[in-house]
Every structure is written in C-alpha cells, then in structure tokens.
Structure 1
C-alpha cells in the first residue's frame, strides 16, 4: 500500500535531482565542430597573413622566402608533378605505419605477458629509439638498395616506438580487480584479453597512433633524403639544390598537409571505435540541477 503524497518512480527513470541529457542533434554537432575548428583555422589564416605581409613588405629577399601567391601558383602549375611525388610519400608512410602498428601491438602483448621478454626487449627498443634515424638511413640504402624498402624501414623504425609504448601502458593500466573477476567467472587468458585488456588499452593505443602516423611521414621523407628518385623528400632535395624556394615551400606544405590529414583520419577512427570512452561522452553525461 502506497501512502498518500508519494509516487512510484519508473525503473528507467533517472534518480531524483538528476537530468539526463539526450544525444546531440545534427545542429549541435555542427556547432561543436565549428567551435573546435575556428581557432586552428584562425591561427592558420594569421600565419598566412603574416607570411604575405613579410613578403609584400620585402623584408626578406624573394629567393629566400617566396610569397604565398608564388608558392600556390607554382603548386597549381605543377600539380601533376607534386601529386605524383606526394602519392609516393603517402604510400610509403601508410605501409610503414601499418607495419609499425602490427609489429608494435604484437611486441607489446608479448612484453606484457612475459616479464622476461619485457626486461630483455625494452632496453633494446630504447637504445634503438635514441639513435638518429637519419644517421642509419644510409645503411638501409646500402643493404636494401634505392627502392621503396629503405623508406618503409625508416618509417617503421620511427613510428614503432610510440605504438609499442602506448600499447604496453594501456595493457598494464587495466584494473587488476577486473582481471581477477573475469578469472573467477571462468574466463581464460584469451577471453580476458579480448573482452577486457584489449578494449581498455585502446584509448592509450590511439594516443600513440596519432603520434606515430605523423612520425611515419617524417620517416618516409628522411628515407627519401638519403636515396630516392621520387617522393617529397626527393622534391625538397632537388628544390634545395636548385635554390628553387617556391618548390621547396610547396613540398613542405604538402608534407605537412599529409601529416595533418592522416592525423585527422586516426582521430575519426578513434571517435568511431571508442564512443564509450569518457573523452567521447561529453555530450551524454548527466547533470545535477
């Protein structure tokens, strides 16, 4: 019997004093995207304006710093040439990044599940990371020739370390009580890894992937610096040797654009695969009034 003045709450109703916010509408998503993008876009416009002002005022010689108009005009005139070399660098970057991700995740899993391997492999990885890749890149050219292989190897070496370190950190950050609970409920090591450890490590992994994908671009270009007849590294070296600063700036701009696009793609993949993570649920939290 329910006393007068009391009401029974629905089982699905939120607790008293808490209002549950529904998911964002398309308009809210558009406003949120605009809110996030206007600052970097504004900074980019300010940098271009400063670049234009410096060249228009002739504060530096044109052969040292070309104007934005000259650089963009050159990019438009030689678009097919730049596109070809950009695609070569992008292909090397993607292939090197993919190999680094696969090998890095596998190495991280082995290191987490074997203390002996971790103590053996971790110092070697750290030693290999501190060696400047530009210093050992000529060795890969000698060993592997002037083809695509040395560029991919350098990209893998540069992108590998962030992947393996972030994955190891993510796998070790799992709550031990969750692992013990899964074990008491009869889950084996493989089920625990698939259902608990790996999903919990994904936020850490994607943080490393966003760093690694930009470093992979640098690795591919560094490999092209040492020995190549195509790619943006080749374009930049040729432009530097010919004192063609507009082409040099064009190569640098396209290389930066490739890195930004790849970073955004990894960011979008993270949003798609990790909608459950706290960093992705800012619009669905409950608020107390």
Structure 2
C-alpha cells in the first residue's frame, strides 16, 4: 500500500491549523472548526450512530462496484473482440453515459423503489463505463507483433484473448477498476440523496435539514475514508496481480 510522504502529512497539518484558526471567527453553521467536526465524528462512532449508515452505503458500493466491473469487463471483451458489435453498441453506451446519473436517479427510484436495489443499479451504471472503456482499449491496442506471433503459432481467438490480450491489458483494466472504486461511492450517495432514509448520503440530507454542519462534515469524512480505503485496497490487489508481469518485463 502506498505510503504518504512526510511533506504531504505536514501540508495536511498546516491546512488543518489554518482551518481551525479561520473557523474560530465564524459560526459553526457556516464553517465548523476541525476540532468540533472531530468531536462530532468521534461521538457518532462511539455511540454507534453512524454504524447502520456506514453498513448501508458500504454494501451498496461493494455490490454496485462488483456488478459494474464484471459487466464492464464482459462487454469490454465482447466489444473489443467483435468490431461489428462495437460499432452497433458504442453509440448507445456513450449516450447512456452522457446523461447525468443525478437526472436518472428519480426514475430508478420510481421503477425499483426506495430500497437498496435502486442505489445498487445507479452505482453499477456509474462503475460500468470505466471498466468497459479500459477493457476495449486494452484489447484493441495489443502489440501487433505479438498478435502476429500467436497467429503464426496457430493460436485460436480464445487462446489469444486469454494468453495475450487480457494479460497484456491488465494494467489498463486495473486502472479502470481503481477509477470505478471511487465513482462507486458517488453512485451510492447520489441514489441516497434522491430517495433513502438510511445511508451516508441520506444522512447528509438529514444534517442539511437539521442545519447541523459539523454532522455534515463528519459524514463527508466518512465517505472520503470509504472511497480512499477502497482505492488503496484495489491498488494493493493490482500490485499483487501485476507482480509476475513486472518481473517478466525486468528480465
């Protein structure tokens, strides 16, 4: 897992101190001090107030990320391998991504209800495109010399895909997976904004209604922590998965 450089940590401390100093002359409603936010966050975690919301959002994020990634890779492989399918479907894929998910969220709430299903579908759609795009690109831009070698050796399309295209495209696919892990949090929160009584996104709307700005900042910190944790976990998996290929290139 990536280590945080000491100068980045020092910059964080400086910004935190500046924020604390600035917030002392302002109302908590406008800008609460980090000490106040920290106290709210700590008391919420200790009392268990945040627990159900964290679990709800985490489940939506994980299921949506898994489904979106699997579908993205599957359709990416199909569209990368079959040019006719890519030409047929790609305009529709682009059109679906051009529509803001915030605009689609009310429809999903109407179709699938206020439960977890609608939030998972929104998250899945948001995670789908990065994996699709990166997988298609990885398959299309495979080294032509290696492709020619596989043809000379009489490898089938299936063998070429499994033994050349996917292994060579793993860095790009994993990069898409990292992007999707951060976007998954956005998808879950968007769904909870529109319709939901539980989850960190719903808690932000509730804190806005109560005019509790420290609580709102506390939830934002939890969402940031969730997204960052997912990103670093996937980065760790990526290093493990790509380790054999990195060693092979160094030889």
TM-score scaled to structure 1, two decimals?
0.82
- What is the aligned counterpart of 1:231 among 199, 214, 222? 199
**Cα RMSD between the aligned structures?**
1.9
3-state DSSP class of the match of 2:229?
Answer: helix
Which of 66, 80, 100 aligns to 2:32? It is: 66
The offset of 1:277, in angstroms, is 4.7
Q: Indicate the residue corresponding to 2:44 in structure 1.
A: 78
User: Is 2:200–2:223's contact at 8 Å kept on the other side of the alignment?
Assistant: yes
Work out the number of aligned pairs and report it: 249
Pairs within 5 Å for 1:70-109 = 70-79=36-45, 80-109=48-77
Partner of 1:41: 9
1:22 matched to which residue of 2?
none
Of the candidates 137, 144, 148, which is equivalent to residue 105 of structure 2? 137
Q: 2:22 aligns with which of 22, 30, 54?
A: 54
- Structure that is richer in helix per residue: 2
What is the CA–CA distance in structure 1 between the aligned matches of 2:75 and 2:10, rounded to whole Å? 41
4+ long deviations beyond 3 Å: none
Distance 2:217 2:132 in 1: 34
Q: Residue deviations 1:59-99, cap 9 Å, x none?
A: x2221111111111111212111122112111100100000
State the Cα distance separating 1:50 from its structure 2 match.
Answer: 2.1
User: Secondary structure, in 3 states, of the residue corresponding to 1:81?
Assistant: coil
Structure 2 distance, partners of 1:47, 1:157, is 36
**Runs of at least 5 residues in structure 1 that lack an aligned partner in the other structure:** 1-28
Q: Which has the greater radius of gyration?
A: 1
Superposed CA offset, 1:29-54 (max 9, x none): 9xxx65x5324333332332222121
Instruction: List per-residue Cα deviations over 1:143-182 (Å, max 9, x = no partner).
Output: 0001101101111111111110011111112112212211
Distance 2:76 2:35 in 1: 48
* Alignment partners' CA distance in 2, 1:40 and 1:268: 21
In structure 1, the partner of 2:120 is: 152
